[in-house]
Chain A
């Protein structure tokens, strides 16, 4: 187990602090004398309980205070009850917020999750002992099991447990009935949360332990340059399916995969949006396999295709298996860097010298400087010219603008859903056929994703 017993309590407290502190702030503002909730007396059978409020009051107050919808207010209010900051007076075992006249009360800070967490076994033992002593058979089945288990586990403390239980019962008998009822409710609510009955979700479950450390350094720097985000969002808005929708239709909504087929890697004619996007940045062009192919075609016409090939070869070194680095670097040297190489790349002499020196002891990043040089060469020179070229402009003019798919006339007829071809299949087929690229026909075989 990862739980280091010495740090257990420390860690839990720090982890819990943030959420519970925020909740406390809400609770405290709910009880503000001026802006807080209006509380009233609540009749429970023949006893009058003071300082109570209705579920409806709670929801209304939250709506008003945070300017939120009823749904959201109910959602938050429910958590305040589930985390034990507010408890119900009637049906105490049902920890949920009802938006009606059901009465609730604020839990005393003594029993706040942030104050008393994690709940100690000793505490629980005393609570169960009290229940047991007060009325034989009052313990529910799972409580009986816990009680017996505790009796075994912390048996050495049992005298103390029983003594405390008796003392607390004796003290409570001396209180007014209303107080006694409230105290019992409070305590019960606390234990319902900290020891939930089987089948009830443990609201306090945190997931695996984290080693939190209170760090004291704080960094603040002033500055501007935020206009780039506005520009980026505006530029890409038409390309964002969640913002603008997508043509012909969003496959997740209509079950029609045309959108994916039309934008697949190896389609013969791309969409207009896709070709437009290549003009946003050099990276966009390179990241799209089709774009890269088009760029290669253009560079071949310019007799500078070796630049792109070199860049690609460098990528393979950088991201490839460690064991193949030396061999790949050697290949790159022979093809692109060696004097008289068939696809010699034009790098400045300083970078070339440094690279050639580095190649003697090849490592993953040995070609980085050269790669970057060629990258920026393409970006600053070839890329802008490509965008102005006939090749690009023609493609843009011919590019497809899909028609919007009309909704099916028979909406209750569901399309058959099949798996899309697994990438593993595609690669294997390609290997089987000895081809470098996967078959486009197979990918566009009109199948839909099975979810």
Chain B
């Protein structure tokens, strides 16, 4: 197809084990043969573990994609953009980064706004040292683990929570003394059996909701560290969660590596609703401001909107030219705009109703890991693996 000068079989039956696998060209007794990578290793030294089944996985996923397309074609669903046809089109937005925060020495993984609309907490990873740094506006807290993947501000603004590869979520009270060693006041609240991917306080400083690579979410009492409720239903790592802004304040949504977004009842632990239309990991979930829907960002390079009452996906935000996964999403205050950070270092801004892209921001030099709109909607902040946080109003 592309290379005339080097014809090699890249996939097919291994000359040694006969399984269909990606192949390597090697020479045995002066003859070129095609072995799968594992048989090559076997050849070179004593035995290894059993081989992969990438080919079967691939075939399965191709089948599913075909089925999905078939099903979609049959339905005559109304899509959100059709209902929004009469809505005024937005002009192109010009977004300028107003401030860049360079206090982190390493990849920014996560951030959260304080309810005072001005402060934020952000977390990062440290490669050189064996600790991770969580940088506040005035304080830096050294954590005894790398990859602090989750952080959250408590509603009072007096406490923060964070955690990551230490499998825990710990709570730190904020004090006024800049020299005080905050790490000494740390309190471990949540304990999971795998990494902590996200955390959020509920309506008070007293309860903490967490999601983990162990496939579960959990609700904790901060004071006692007691597990109040656990949420089982994902079949792989849970990567993100968001609390519903609903009247009864009893539900939240989570997204995971099983491509599912699940809605949970906090009180009973029940999985109320489940949505599975993404083709890869869901990295981020966020409620639409009214609480009637939520958006997701996924490794399949799309963001989607799911309507809770219709119980289905109602919009896909994608473009053929967007190849990389979306790592983080958030809505503007009115819910008209969806800000999405991607692994191709860009932020794309979508018109939620029309499904079109209204702006693209080339701000960062590495993956965008987190995008959050401030509580009063005046600006949004993006954190990146390029070690910076950018603040962008319009």
* Given A106-B2, A157-B44, A218-B276, A233 and B378 contact (CB-CB distance below 8 Å): no
Q: Considering the complex, which residues of chain A in the window 249-307 have a beta carbon less than 8 Å from any beta carbon of chain B?
A: 250-253, 259-260, 263, 282-283
Contact partners of A239 in chain B: CB under 8 A:
333-334, 377
Please measure, in the bound complex, the distance between the C-alpha atom of A212 and the C-alpha atom of B377, giving whole angstroms.
35
Q: Considering the complex, which residues of chain B in the window 337-394 have a beta carbon less than 8 Å from any beta carbon of chain A?
A: 337, 343-346, 352-353, 360, 362, 366, 373, 376-380, 391, 393-394
* Given A229-B292, A237-B336, A182 and B276 contact (CB-CB distance below 8 Å): no
* Given A210-B236, A242-B380, A252 and B267 contact (CB-CB distance below 8 Å): no
Least Cβ–Cβ distance between A344 and chain B, in angstroms: 24
Q: Considering the complex, which residues of chain B in the window 162-217 have a beta carbon less than 8 Å from any beta carbon of chain A?
A: 165, 173-176, 194-195, 202-204, 206-207, 213, 215
Most chain B CB inside 10 Å of its own CB: which residue of A27, A176, A214, A221: A214
Q: State how many residues of chain A have any CB contact under 8 Å with chain B.
A: 129
Least Cβ–Cβ distance between A166 and chain B, in angstroms: 9
A120 B4 Cβ-Cβ under 8 A = no
* Given A68-B321, A211-B257, A226-B78, A424 and B158 contact (CB-CB distance below 8 Å): yes
Q: Considering the complex, which residues of chain A in the window 330-379 have a beta carbon less than 8 Å from any beta carbon of chain B?
A: 364-365, 368, 372, 375, 379
Contact partners of A235 in chain B: CB under 8 A:
334
* Given A216-B64, A253-B98, A229 and B335 contact (CB-CB distance below 8 Å): yes
Whether a CB of chain A sits under 8 angstroms from the CB of B156 is yes
A218 B68 Cβ-Cβ under 8 A = yes
Whether a CB of chain A sits under 8 angstroms from the CB of B233 is no
Please measure, in the bound complex, the distance between the C-alpha atom of A321 and the C-alpha atom of B72, giving whole angstroms.
48
* Pick from B54, B71, B312: contact of A223, CB under 8 Å: B312
Please measure, in the bound complex, the distance between the C-alpha atom of A156 and the C-alpha atom of B204, giving whole angstroms.
60
Please measure, in the bound complex, the distance between the C-alpha atom of A323 and the C-alpha atom of B6, giving whole angstroms.
71
Please measure, in the bound complex, the distance between the C-alpha atom of A312 and the C-alpha atom of B87, giving whole angstroms.
39
Q: Considering the complex, which residues of chain A in the window 397-451 have a beta carbon less than 8 Å from any beta carbon of chain B?
A: 419-420, 422-425, 427-428, 449-451
Contact partners of B45 in chain A: CB under 8 A:
154, 156-157, 160
Counting contact residues on chain B (CB < 8 A from A), the size range is: 35 or more
Contact partners of B323 in chain A: CB under 8 A:
19, 22-23, 26, 76, 79
B310 A108 Cβ-Cβ under 8 A = no
Whether a CB of chain B sits under 8 angstroms from the CB of A171 is yes
Instruction: Select from chain A the residue with minimum beta-carbon distance to B83.
Output: A226
Whether a CB of chain B sits under 8 angstroms from the CB of A46 is no
Please measure, in the bound complex, the distance between the C-alpha atom of A419 and the C-alpha atom of B137, giving whole angstroms.
9
Instruction: Select from chain B the residue with minimum beta-carbon distance to A76.
Output: B321
B226 A322 Cβ-Cβ under 8 A = yes
Contact partners of B158 in chain A: CB under 8 A:
423-424, 427
Least Cβ–Cβ distance between B82 and chain A, in angstroms: 8
A115 B378 Cβ-Cβ under 8 A = no
Dominant SS among interface residues on chain A:
helix
Least Cβ–Cβ distance between A435 and chain B, in angstroms: 16
* Given A51-B4, A234-B87, A252-B393, A240 and B204 contact (CB-CB distance below 8 Å): no
* Given A6-B49, A242-B332, A422-B174, A19 and B299 contact (CB-CB distance below 8 Å): yes
* Pick from A79, A216, A229, A422: contact of B352, CB under 8 Å: A229
Q: Considering the complex, which residues of chain B in the window 6-44 have a beta carbon less than 8 Å from any beta carbon of chain A?
A: 6, 8, 10-11, 22, 24-27, 30, 32, 37, 40-41, 43-44
* Given A213-B236, A251-B378, A229 and B288 contact (CB-CB distance below 8 Å): yes
Whether a CB of chain A sits under 8 angstroms from the CB of B89 is no
Please measure, in the bound complex, the distance between the C-alpha atom of A318 and the C-alpha atom of B239, giving whole angstroms.
26
Most chain B CB inside 10 Å of its own CB: which residue of A178, A241, A364: A241
A220 B333 Cβ-Cβ under 8 A = no
A220 B137 Cβ-Cβ under 8 A = no
Whether a CB of chain A sits under 8 angstroms from the CB of B232 is no
Least Cβ–Cβ distance between A423 and chain B, in angstroms: 3
Instruction: Select from chain A the residue with minimum beta-carbon distance to B260.
Output: A215
* Given A51-B4, A110-B8, A156-B45, A208 and B195 contact (CB-CB distance below 8 Å): yes
Contact partners of B30 in chain A: CB under 8 A:
167
* Pick from A73, A154, A156, A208: contact of B165, CB under 8 Å: A208
* Pick from A19, A31, A171, A232: contact of B2, CB under 8 Å: A31
B333 A241 Cβ-Cβ under 8 A = yes
A residues neighboring B (CB under 8 Å): 2, 5-6, 9-10, 13-15, 17-19, 22-23, 26-28, 31, 50-51, 62, 65-66, 68, 71-73, 75-76, 79, 105-110, 112, 115-116, 120, 122-123, 154, 156-157, 160-161, 163-164, 167-168, 171, 175-176, 178-179, 182-183, 186, 201, 207-208, 210-230, 232-237, 239-243, 245-246, 250-253, 259-260, 263, 282-283, 315-316, 318-323, 364-365, 368, 372, 375, 379, 419-420, 422-425, 427-428, 449-451
**21 residue pairs A–B, Cβ–Cβ below 8 Å:** A10-B53, A14-B57, A17-B280, A19-B299, A23-B323, A28-B1, A68-B321, A79-B324, A106-B3, A109-B1, A186-B6, A212-B257, A216-B60, A216-B64, A228-B292, A232-B335, A234-B87, A236-B289, A240-B336, A242-B380, A425-B176
Instruction: With A110-B8, A161-B44 given, name 19 new contacts (CB 8 A).
Output: A75-B362, A157-B44, A171-B27, A183-B5, A208-B147, A212-B237, A218-B71, A223-B77, A229-B352, A233-B352, A235-B334, A236-B335, A236-B336, A237-B334, A240-B336, A242-B380, A252-B391, A322-B223, A427-B156
B residues neighboring A (CB under 8 Å): 1-6, 8, 10-11, 22, 24-27, 30, 32, 37, 40-41, 43-46, 49, 52-54, 57-58, 60-61, 64, 67-68, 71-72, 75-80, 83-84, 87, 98-99, 101, 114, 116-119, 137-138, 147, 149, 156-158, 165, 173-176, 194-195, 202-204, 206-207, 213, 215, 221-224, 226, 228, 235-237, 239, 245, 247-248, 257-260, 267, 274-277, 279-281, 288-290, 292-293, 299-301, 307, 309-312, 314, 319-321, 323-325, 332-337, 343-346, 352-353, 360, 362, 366, 373, 376-380, 391, 393-394
List 9 A-B pairs, minimum CB-CB distance, nearest first. A423-B157, A236-B334, A167-B27, A240-B334, A319-B204, A157-B44, A66-B321, A223-B310, A252-B393
